Amino acid sequence: MARQRASHIILTMKGHAATLSVPDHPRVARGTLRSLIADAGLTVEEFLAALD
């Protein structure tokens, strides 16, 4: 986590120039979540495996 601005958390990864802005809400819309997963370079299956 690089920083937080209002209701969004900004994530960065060392060695990557891109950032990922994730909403800090109790629920995130399905399409928004899928888009965030894709922007992170993951498949849905990789994302779900990381949750375990």
pLDDT in tens, 1-51: 787 877 788 887 787 767 778 888 888 899 988 998 898 888 999 989 988
pTM: 0.64
Give pLDDT, residue 1.
73
Q: Which residues does residue 9 pair with via DSSP β-bridges, in sequence order?
A: 4, 22
According to the model, what pLDDT value does residue 40 have? 84
- Alpha carbons 24 and 2: distance in angstroms, whole number: 14
Report the number of distinct structural domains present in the chain.
1
**Domain boundaries, position 14:** 3-51
